[in-house]
């Protein structure tokens, strides 16, 4: 039952990921991307990682993609000259890279034994993750937030420069 | 095996009941609001169709559905239709994490009257609340109309900003309860005997502000002012295609946030057992409808904020207040005052 649910969700995610790279209309790309993000969140739910799923929903599906959509919808696409043809050189160089990645992933999946160790899930996902973040991984966690803060300040400074000049 | 079938049936029944109740109630809230607004303005509201105008929602539905389907020129047809669903589905999904009452025993199994008892129910509420922004954004863009598009951008900006405040306001309640699970939050209030509105009045008021803003109610609805701007982002929609937007936003979203607010601040289903085994459900409904009454009352009483003030108000006043409130609560919880 769980396997069935997970495979349906995984299929939807993979299909929407292909949709994201194959569709030409930029707004439709955002819709496919949104489906992909929701699929990832649903697979977290299926794996009982509730907090990750919720954060995926709140941070990616809502905050980040909304701003992508806000920016992309305001661009006057009909005035922009878009390349209508087919990227021949890029396509043919992509094929070997794609095959290499697929081959190595399949090799890993079939050669290595998947871990069958039963890991006992923490009863409360939220407090377990919070405890880990603020005790064992406090330095990387704080570093990451510091880097994000610097990026935010940088973005504000760039924006101000544009507005003044 | 029997257990699996039993739980599958239970979940199917829960989903059907929640869908039926919310969509039916959503339709009848239009009657409630019109009647209420009428009496507020010394009119009588709908009276013609059925006793007390009770069949008015049905008449409205038939009218909307039999209208000629008009599609504007140059629209993105797929997104035009998809946007309707993007507006409706998050509003309905919000009810997946609404606990309608205490858990009870049925045929030897413990059953909770909630569709999905998530550990992160409150996070899920925030997510579904802001997912409504997509319906708005894509509806505005797909309509191929500058008018609808500007309205949708304004509304999406508003939803995103008030969502941040909503999150910080509700976080202080989560801190007090020590959990994001709705059952744990209500049980914590029942155990301590005090509703969180007593501990967190500031957060409750912030939550009310955000509730009004998120569901496009007065005083935060300048971007879809019906009288002046003919509701902005959905101006190119007609018939039932239009009808879905107010249904999702004004009724389902408002109702869902009202129930969540009564769970967070008003003790959920707690109350004296005067209605027998149904008292929990009746108390929760009474509290939610009390809040809904307040929302509609405000809607038909107050004037609107100006467009430039609405978002600024969220970022410059509400957010700092909510952060100060959160830090203060965290100190109190940490030192166990």
> CA B255 → CA A33, B5, B214, B292, B306, distances in Å?
30, 32, 12, 7, 26
Interface test with B, best of A32, A46, A126 (most B CBs within 10 A): A126
Answer whether B137's CB lies under 8 Å from A73's CB: yes
Query: DSSP characters for B76-145?
Result: -HHHHHHHHHHHHHHHHHGGGG---S--EEETTEEE-SSS---TTHHHHHHHHHHHHHHHHHHHHHHTT-
Q: Which domain holds residue A146?
A: 123-165
**Token code pair at residue B243:** 């009808």
Residue B229 domain flag: yes
Residue A81 has pLDDT above 60, yes or no: yes
The per-residue pLDDT for A165 is: 55
Q: How many CB pairs under 8 A join A and B?
A: 73
B58-78 as b/e, with b when 16 or more CB fall inside 10 Å? eebeeebeeeeeeeeeebbee
User: What was the pLDDT predicted at B229?
Assistant: 67
Confidence (pTM) = 0.85
Whole-number Å distance between alpha carbons of A90 and B121? 45
Number of domains in chain A: 2
CA distances to A29, A62, A85, B111, B255 from A75, rounded to whole Å, are 14, 20, 21, 51, 36
Q: Is the peptide bond between B65 and the residue preceding it cis, with omega within 30 degrees of 0? A: no
Closest C-alpha to B141, from A115, A36, A30, A52: A30
Q: Label residue B268 left, alpha or beta by phi (over 0 means left) and psi (-120 to 50 means alpha).
A: left
> Of A66, A81, A96, which one is at a domain's C-terminal end?
A81
Residue B326's domain comprises 74-334
For residue B11, the chain A residues in CB contact (below 8 A) are none
A147 confidence band (pLDDT: 50, 70, 90): very high
Position B14 in a domain: no
The minimum CA-CA distance between A54 and chain B, rounded to whole Å, is 6
* Residue B49 belongs to some domain of the structure: no
* Domain-terminating residue out of A50, A81, A112: A81
| pLDDT number for residue B268 | 81
> What ipTM, to 2 d.p.?
0.84
Residue A18 lies in a domain: yes
User: B65 in a domain, yes or no?
Assistant: no
Q: Is residue A63 domain-shared with residue A134, that is, in the same domain?
A: no
3-state secondary structure of A76: coil
The answer to whether residue A138 sits within a structural domain is yes
Chain A residues whose CB is inside 8 A of the B162 CB are none
Between CA B304 and CA B226 the distance in angstroms is 12
Residues 156-175 of B with CB under 8 A from A: 156-157, 160, 163, 167
Q: How many helices (H) and strands (E) does chain A have?
A: 7, 0
Residue A114 lies in a domain: no
CATH label of the domain that carries residue A75: 1.20.120.1200
Are A51 and B141 within 8 A, CB to CB? no
Per-residue DSSP letter, B334: H
Using CB atoms and an 8 Å cut-off, which of residues 99-118 of chain B contact chain A?
118
A75, closest residue in chain B (CA to CA):
B141
Q: What are phi and psi of B325, to 5 degrees?
A: -60, -40
Residue B91 lies in a domain: yes
Q: Which residue has the higher pLDDT, A87 or B36?
A: B36
How many domains is chain B built from? 1
How much is the pLDDT for B324?
93
**What percent of chain A stands above pLDDT 70?**
95
pLDDT of residue A140: 92
A60/B contact by beta carbon, under 8 A: no
Task: From A81, A115, A140, give the residue that closes a domain.
Answer: A81
Q: What is the pLDDT along chain B (337 residues), one digit of tens a residue?
A: 677 888 888 888 889 988 888 888 888 888 888 888 888 888 888 888 888 888 888 888 888 889 888 888 888 888 888 989 988 999 888 888 888 888 777 777 778 888 888 888 888 888 888 888 888 888 888 888 888 888 888 888 888 888 889 989 888 898 888 888 888 888 888 888 888 888 889 999 999 998 888 887 878 777 677 666 667 788 788 888 888 888 888 888 888 899 999 998 888 888 787 777 788 888 888 899 899 989 988 888 888 887 778 888 888 999 999 999 999 999 988 887 6
């Amino acid at each position: 039952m769980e396997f069935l649910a997970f495979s349906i969700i995984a299929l939807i995610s993979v299909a929407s990921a292909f949709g994201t790279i194959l569709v030409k209309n930029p707004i439709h790309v955002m819709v496919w991307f949104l489906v992909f993000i929701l699929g990832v969140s649903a697979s977290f739910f299926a794996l009982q990682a509730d907090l990750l799923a919720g954060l995926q929903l709140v941070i990616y599906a809502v905050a980040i993609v909304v701003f992508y959509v806000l920016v992309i919808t305001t661009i006057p696409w009909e005035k922009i000259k878009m390349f209508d043809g087919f990227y021949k050189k890029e396509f043919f160089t992509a094929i070997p890279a794609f095959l290499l990645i697929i081959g190595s992933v399949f090799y890993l999946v079939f050669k290595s034994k998947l871990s069958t160790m039963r890991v006992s899930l923490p009863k409360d996902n939220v407090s377990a993750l919070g405890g880990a973040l603020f005790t064992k991984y406090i330095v990387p966690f704080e570093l990451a937030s510091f880097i994000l803060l610097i990026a935010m300040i940088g973005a504000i400074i760039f924006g101000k420069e544009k507005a003044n000049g | 095996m029997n257990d699996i079938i039993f739980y599958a049936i239970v979940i199917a029944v829960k989903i059907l009941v929640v869908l039926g109740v919310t969509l039916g109630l959503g339709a009848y809230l239009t009657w409630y609001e019109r009647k209420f607004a009428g009496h507020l303005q010394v009119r009588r509201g709908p009276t013609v169709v059925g006793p007390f105008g009770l069949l008015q929602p049905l008449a409205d539905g038939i009218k909307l559905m039999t209208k000629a389907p008009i599609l504007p020129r140059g629209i993105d047809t797929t997104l035009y239709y998809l946007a309707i669903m993007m507006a409706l589905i998050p509003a309905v999904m919000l009810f997946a994490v609404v606990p309608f009452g205490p858990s009870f025993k049925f045929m030897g199994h413990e059953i909770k009257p909630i569709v999905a008892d998530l550990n992160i129910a409150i996070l899920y509420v925030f997510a579904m609340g802001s997912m409504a922004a997509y319906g708005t954004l894509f509806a505005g863009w797909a309509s191929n109309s500058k008018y609808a598009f500007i309205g949708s951008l304004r509304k999406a900006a508003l939803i995103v900003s008030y969502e941040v405040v909503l999150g910080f306001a509700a976080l202080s309640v989560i801190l007090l309860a020590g959990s994001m699970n709705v059952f744990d939050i209500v049980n914590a209030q029942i155990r301590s005997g005090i509703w969180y509105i007593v501990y967190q009045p500031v957060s409750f008021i912030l939550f009310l502000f955000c509730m009004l803003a998120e569901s496009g109610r007065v005083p935060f609805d300048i971007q879809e002012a019906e009288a002046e701007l003919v509701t902005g982002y959905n101006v190119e929609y007609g018939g039932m295609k239009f009808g879905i937007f107010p249904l999702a936003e004004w009724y389902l979203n408002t109702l869902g946030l009202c129930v969540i607010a009564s769970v967070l601040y008003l003790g959920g289903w707690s109350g004296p057992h005067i209605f027998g085994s149904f008292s929990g459900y009746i108390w929760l409904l009474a509290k939610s409808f009390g809040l809904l009454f307040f929302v509609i009352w405000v809607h038909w009483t107050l004037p609107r904020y100006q467009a430039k003030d609405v978002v600024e108000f969220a970022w410059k006043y509400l957010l700092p207040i909510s952060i100060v409130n959160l830090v203060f609560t965290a100190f109190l919880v940490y030192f166990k005052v």
